[in-house]
Amino acid sequence: MVRRADKYTFRVMWSEEDGEFVSLCAEFPSLSWLAESPEAALKGIRTVVQKCLRDLESAGEDVPSAIATRNYSGKFMVRVPPEVHRQLAIKAAESGVSLNRVASSMLAR
C-alpha cells in the first residue's frame, strides 16, 4: 500500500557543509533531514512529511498536493528582455523551426 506521503517529490544529496546526506521534499520546502547514509536520509524525510501531513489534517489546514499527481497543460509564459527575444527569433529562423521549439529545446537541457 502506498502512503500518501510517498507520492511527494523527494531528493537526497550530499551536503559538504554538514558532512552528511540531506533529504528534501519539494512540496514542503521548509522540511529537511540529515543522515549518514542516503537511505537513512530518505527514510527520515519521509517520516517527517508523514507527521507533517497528520498535523496539517488534524488542524484542518490545507495539505499540498503532490507534484506527481497534478495536471499540467504544457503551457506557461516566460518574460525575457527584448534582445533575448530577438536572438531566439533569429536562432529559430536560421534553424527553420518555431520560436516555441527553440525555447522548449533550451529549457529541456
Rounded Cα distance between 2 and 87, Å, is 47
Residues 58 and 85 in one domain: no
pLDDT value of residue 42: 97
Instruction: Walk along the chain (109 residues) and give the pLDDT tens digit of each residue.
Output: 667 888 999 999 999 999 999 999 999 999 999 999 999 999 999 999 999 999 999 999 999 999 999 999 999 999 999 999 999 999 999 999 999 999 999 999 8
> How many structural domains comprise the chain?
2
* Beta pairing, strands 20-25 & 32-35: antiparallel
Closest to 11 in 3D by CA, of 67, 76, 63: 67
Rounded Cα distance between 7 and 25, Å, is 10
pTM: 0.75
Q: Which domain holds residue 41?
A: 4-68
Residues 57 and 13 in one domain: yes
